[in-house]
Chains A and B, each alone.
Chain A
Amino acid sequence: MKKTFVVLWLALAPALAQMDWLAGLDWGGISGNLQQVGQVMSCNPGSLAQLDFSQPSLVLRGVYRVAKCVLCLTLKMCGLPDDMLYPATWGEVLQGFRGGGDVLIVGSGAGVKALTDYLIAALGGGACQNISYGGVPIYTCPEGGIRVSKAFVVTDPATAREVKAKLQSIRDPNLFKVVGVGGERDAPELSRVLLGLPMVYAGRPFMFAPGYSTPDRWLWLTFDGPTADKVLLVLRLATQYAASAAQREEETR
């Protein structure tokens, strides 16, 4: 009985509630409806056809903008915030690297490689001028160095192998833990599709879409405060999983 009652009520509520909204449409003349279609066009849905899927964080951002605009115009659902991802400064990221906590980098490709290069050099005590990304040297080593208790990199096997080779130069071999996803050999198909959005976690989650020459000029995107708090829940957990994966990798002979 209670079920039927609730179902009936739930089924009717939207229909009843829509009446006013439906009545507000210009059902008589087609012009009004066309005008609304025109409004949707103002959300630039064409941008969806030009998304660059090699930059997943930008895809997320672009899709969100269009969806939010269409929802607000057509269904008057305007309760979504303007943006989900906000530009972050390199200073903020550096602050995370100085916090002395764990760092987690998930992703693959040139951006992740350059970022780990940067961390290795900075943790090794300067000499950042020797790293270049896209031919442009990186100068932004912080003066006091950076402080990280442990850095985990989860990446494709080829990048993992490269990073591991570079780690020979680091004094503390336990500082960096690299987890290669997949088997022992390079698996490029993993690096392209499966690893998802590039993420950097160092107390606050940052996503980044490399496309500029140096870390201080990369496009860093971060979440707003309340979102960041919740993404942190996952990333803290992910760091634990990366840690046990690194241990597993050592155990596997």
Chain B
Amino acid sequence: MRWAIGLVFLSSLVLAQTGPRYEDWTKYLLSAPDYRLEQILKGKWPYLEVLRKDRFRDYQKGPCDAQKDPQGCRGRLPWAEAQAHEFYLPLSSLEATREVARDLRRAWQRFEERYYWRTAVELNNPAFWFAYCWAGIRGPELAPPLPDFRLQVPSEGVDPAFLDAATRQGPLDMGRWASAGLHSLDRYLPVPQVDPREFCDGLGMQILPLMYIPGFKVLLQGYEVFRTPGYPSKPFWFNWDEANARVERAMRKALTEYYLDYQKEVARILLTPRPSTPQEALNLLGGDFRSLGAPKVYLPVPWQGHLLGGGSVVAPVYTELVPTDPTALWNQVQSLWNAYKGLIDRAGSDVEKVYLYVHFYRAARTLFDSKAFYGLPGMDAVKENLVKLVEAPLRSLTQSLPVLRGCAGSLDQVASCAALALKKVDLAVKGVGNLQDLGGGGQAEPIKAARESPGLWKFEEAKRWLPPSSLPVYEAFGYAGFFQAQNILEATTVPDIRNIDLSSVNLGNWISWAWNQLSRLVVYWHVPITIDARVEYCPPCVIAYPSLPLEGPVQPLAIPPYVLPFALERTHWRWISVPEGYEVPGVRGTPYKPLGDLSALTSLVDLSAFYRILLGR
């Protein structure tokens, strides 16, 4: 008995060193996705369930009344809190979240334009005031394209053991925030792309005080005899105090009023469901699986809200509710296979690489047997494709490992046999049995982690790389895609000097980047003049006249701060995938609990009530 305890102790030591380290402070888990496919047909919106683990644990311990039993309740959450451990998140469409991302981008662009043009116009009053405020010269409307979907794998969500294993052969692409580098205009034009009223408010023509005395040069009979110092770049005299005061005034206005408008706009975009009533959303649901389609709906959940230090606004996403095209479905399953195989090939041991075929086969078969596809023509071909994809490689691979060599019979029998073999290897890693004899010598980590990680942890972790998909795919493969938005405080400039794509540094990149930066410098435009004096036959007389600004036309004089600084919050967004039973990264606190100061920014819709009608619970 003693040796057995020793063995367990020893093996737990081994586990602690090499296995996954799912930490105890993981709080928010994606619980069983419950799409209730039949319920959708009855007009109920699909949703996901998430679990707050610390509350769930206390809930499992049973009720506890702190007033009656203060001793027994010590260190436990209040019972009401423990009871509120499950939250329902309605699903949104990927397309709708892309539209939300586009609107967030446009809100930023609007702020960026207002910030710059307010400063430029106020500084260059009256010339710019005439051109932009009075005459209303302006460019096209801001119309950012729909931002591309980009998957990010937040490294804080992935267990370090998986990352270690997957990066042994080389670095792994984890993606970036989908919004990284997108806080910029699509085109930096020398004219504003917002309505003049957006930045001309409260501005009038201002001729006095005098801003400058132009720099000049004097020509006598075509020969230069004098030029003011710094001509043509510098005026003869410049009213620096007034210029600084004007810039400061404009910046203050932009950073307080216009920035607040940006914040309000973002809050409105993020927290308003689309469409605006539950009934409109429900009307988009069809009566049978074939007509469900991909209703464009955005149903956000403020997980404490998006503000800095708060949390996130979260919306699980689907690409379509139920696929109806077997060919498209098969293509998608293949892309899942490629993503999955790429990861397990990197992170898995020999046995795990073989077992991937079984694991994938079982999930895909569950998918194809889903009720949603009953009677769909073409599904038989898809099922055959699956067998073709898996069977031959699996059978040949089983011959390479001693522990799998006995696996024969039908595909299902091979699959069950491989699952048993996997269990044997796992036990051997944990100290029960001889690993070498089983041919699993390369197996360093346990296949089934000790705790906090349902399923086979490597196969689950790899799901963070799977793209968003439809409800039956989520259900069969056990994961879900999420859209998340939150504010990040960044100290940078406007336009952001970091907005250069370093993945391919080339001349084109640099030129467009340099133009973006230069076109938004804070400058005062002044006009140097030339005084040309010459004796003309008019009859003979001396004429001295200022000619058009020569030698460089209007000249820019850079005014501090030269480039507009920005060190405030702005909203970023991303798309992530979360395996079932694993952590939802990037969130804090409790869903459906927007922090108090959000209501100062926008009139909050009571989302709990809204979704109660949608979900029917």
Contact = CB atoms under 8 A, between A and B. Distances in A.
B498 interface: yes
A51 to B, nearest CB: 9
A30 interface: no
B144 interface: no
B491 A106 contact: yes
Contacts of B309: 179-180, 244-249, 252
A59 interface: yes
A63 interface: yes
Interface stretch (A35-43, A164-172, A210-218, A233-241): A233-241
A53 B566 CA distance: 18
A19 B491 CA distance: 42
Interface string A176-198: 00011111111111100111111
A106 B556 contact: no
Interface residues of B, number: 85
B549 A17 contact: yes
A118 to B, nearest CB: 19
A24 interface: yes
B172 interface: no
A3 B309 CA distance: 48
Interface in B575-594: 583, 585-590
B555 interface: yes
B488 A233 contact: no
B312 interface: yes
Contact of A78 (B230, B562, B583, B595): B230
Contact of A48 (B248, B510, B596): B510
A196 B567 CA distance: 9
Interface string B129-149: 011001111000000000000
Task: Kindly name the residue among A20, A24, A198 whose own CB sees the greatest number of chain B CB atoms within 10 A.
Answer: A20
Interface in B296-350: 304, 307-312
A231 interface: yes
A3 B134 CA distance: 9
Interface in A102-131: 106-107
B308 A197 contact: no
B561 interface: yes
A111 B176 CA distance: 23
> Which secondary structure characterizes the binding site on chain B?
loop
Contacts of A247: 309
Contacts of A49: 505
Given A67-B514, A230-B248, A234-B568, A77 B553 contact: no
A252 B304 contact: yes
B484 to A, nearest CB: 9
B523 interface: yes
A15 B86 CA distance: 68
Contact of A229 (B248, B493, B554, B587): B248
Interface stretch (B105-113, B250-258, B533-541): B250-258
Task: Kindly name the residue among A2, A186, A196 whose own CB sees the greatest number of chain B CB atoms within 10 A.
Answer: A196
Contacts of B248: 229-230, 233
B558 A2 contact: no
B565 A21 contact: no
Contact of B553 (A18, A186, A197, A249): A18
B548 interface: yes
B552 A14 contact: no
B488 A194 contact: yes
Contact of B155 (A81, A154, A189, A252): A189
B489 A242 contact: yes
Contacts of A179: 308-309, 489
B247 interface: yes
A60 interface: yes
B561 A231 contact: yes
B308 A241 contact: yes
Given A195-B490, A244-B309, 5 more contacts: A81-B558, A181-B308, A242-B489, A245-B308, A248-B308
22 contacts: A6-B130, A7-B137, A17-B550, A21-B551, A53-B502, A59-B497, A77-B233, A184-B25, A187-B154, A188-B155, A188-B156, A189-B174, A194-B490, A199-B491, A230-B247, A230-B565, A248-B310, A248-B597, A249-B309, A252-B311, A252-B588, A253-B590
